Structure 1
Amino acid sequence: MKTIGFIGVGIMGKPMVRNLMKAGFTVQIYARNREKVNDVIAEGARFYPSIAACVQGCDAVITMVGFPPDVEEVYFQKGNILDSAAKGTYLIDMTTTSPTLAERIYEQGKKMGFHVMDAPVTGGDTGAIQGTLSILVGGDKADFDACLPLFQAMGTNINYQGKAGSGQHAKMANQIMIAGALSGVCEALAYAEAKGLDLEVLLRSLATGAAGSAQLNAFGEKIIHHDYAPGFYMKHFIKDMKIARQESNASGLSLEILAQVLQNYEALQAQDADNGNLGTQALIKHYETV
């Protein structure tokens, strides 16, 4: 496996492309706006003006786009991957999307002679940059094994979750955990500020105790310094939580914390559409306005 097609070269995709090239892969990319990827082109990525052209001659094609409709577009609409890639290509959707959609791509792809996997990631832009992403893979085990060197170029915690769609279900569990953990961090900091505590001292005091968490480590300092630059967009987290809610409802589960956190995020986005382009840590704004 030498040549990789990569579609979706954004906050997460761009460092993933860089890490693939560092590992020795030839990477062919497609992006709607070439100007936004000129830096990785200068570093060696080969740009193509269409999806159909990008996937030609690839051993594997990775997609890392934004929303389920974007996934639908690149796999099923005119000039799509399924109609353009050579039979036998490994097709890996690393977007966080609907498990049902992942199963649909798998079923259609298998019929057409492709190896199809859903492999969403967690670790944010920092993990993408450092090549330490956790990668959650669904599909056929033999295909997972064949693509392990590819995954290892982008991540360090790589696990086969099960049949098609299982990677996306694992990612939903991850997002449900984050919803509770990050809202807990925001509520604690809102409480501490209201009581007049020194938030810097509080962070140092709690980070290594029972309340310590990846969300506290990643966002505590950013929150108290009002740094809302996105490592992961609020609008994408809202999308993920909606998928998780839909999937949980389908299984007869009532996830009250997920529902409340989703409601809080949606209220923030409703107040100002630009909030959707902030990082997930901007949830603290909810507590500043209630």
Structure 2
Amino acid sequence: MKNIAVIGLGIMGLPMAVNLVNAGFTVAGYNRSQAATDKLAAAGGRAATSIADAVKDADAVITMVPDSPDVEAVVGGDAGVFANARKGTLWIDASSIRPDVAKRLAGDAAAAGIRPLDAPVSGGEQGAIDGVLSIMVGGDAGDFADAADVLSAVGRTIVHVGPSGSGQTVKAANQLIVAVNIQALSEAIVFLEAYGVDTDAALKVLGGGLAGSKVLDQKGQKMLDRNFDPGFRLALHNKDLGIVTAAAREAGVAVPLGAAVAQLVTAMVAQGDGGLDHSGLFKQALATSGRQ
């Protein structure tokens, strides 16, 4: 694996592509926005002019786009990945999409001679920048082994979790846990502030006990600062929670906390806050309690 194509150079895709460059790979990137491809070129990658141009010499193709229809759009059709990548190329979909779509597209990829892995990531923008993402991978075990060097350039915790679609199922569970944790942390900080507690000190001690979590570490200060610049937008978490609730319904599984938080996130997106970081749920917790 020497030549890598990255399709989708957004908040997550661009730093992942840059880390691949820094790891010694030859990286071609394509994005609908020229500004993003220019940034990759400045970091030592190649700005491709189309998907076909990006994937023509690739040993592995990484797609990192927002939703299931976006993945379908970039891999399908005469201009897509499947029609233009060489047979035997690894396709690593790092997007977060529906598990059933991931399984169907894996079949389409195999029919085109492409080796599919669904490999959604967790860790947010900072995790992508630092190259320490958690990556949950579904697909053939041999293909997973072949992708090891590529995945290691962008992640730290990299686990094969089963056949095609399994990575997306685990990512849905991840997003359920994260959303519920963000809401719980939001309510806890509102509670602490109502009593005039030193919130910096409170979060420090809470982080050292059983209440400690990555969510507290990464989102607590953002809430205290009322800084909701996006690392992972509420609109995308809304999409992911839609995947969770739909998949849970299909499996006959009850997710009452997840369903409740999904409604809160949907309400924020509907009122125009979808561009905020998902820690922006704190705004709603404040408003519900009549605080600012």
Match of 1:52 in 2: 52
Residues 1:281 and 2:279 are matched in the alignment: yes
Query: 1:8: how far off?
Result: 0.5
Q: Which moved more, 1:30-39 or 1:146-155?
A: 30-39
Match of 1:88 in 2: 88
Alignment of 1:259-270 (within 5 A): 259-270=259-270
Match of 2:115 in 1: 115
Residues 1:222 and 2:222 are matched in the alignment: yes
Q: How does the TM-score come out when normalised to structure 1?
A: 0.97
Match of 1:67 in 2: 67
Amino acid at match of 2:278: T
Query: 1:23: how far off?
Result: 1.0
Between the aligned residues of both structures, percent identity stands at 39
- Count of residue pairs brought into register by the alignment: 288
Q: How does the TM-score come out when normalised to structure 2?
A: 0.96
SS in 2 for 1:196: coil
- 1:238 and 1:249 map into 2 onto residues whose CA distance is 17
SS in 1 for 2:147: helix
Query: 1:78: how far off?
Result: 4.3
Residues 1:139 and 2:139 are matched in the alignment: yes
SS in 2 for 1:49: coil
Match of 1:103 in 2: 103
Match of 2:244 in 1: 244
Match of 2:182 in 1: 182
Amino acid at match of 1:279: D
Query: 1:167: how far off?
Result: 0.4
Query: 1:82: how far off?
Result: 0.8
SS in 2 for 1:10: coil
Query: 1:202: how far off?
Result: 1.4
Unmatched 5+ residue regions in structure 1? none
RMSD of aligned residue pairs (Cα, Å): 1.0
Query: 1:195: how far off?
Result: 2.1
Unmatched 5+ residue regions in structure 2? none
Query: 1:27: how far off?
Result: 0.3
Amino acid at match of 1:160: H
Question: Is the 8 Å Cα contact of residues 268 and 285 (structure 1) preserved in structure 2?
Answer: no
Query: 1:196: how far off?
Result: 2.2
SS in 2 for 1:209: coil
- 1:96 and 1:71 map into 2 onto residues whose CA distance is 9
Q: Give the 4+ runs in structure 1 shifted more than 3 A.
A: none
- 2:113 and 2:38 map into 1 onto residues whose CA distance is 34
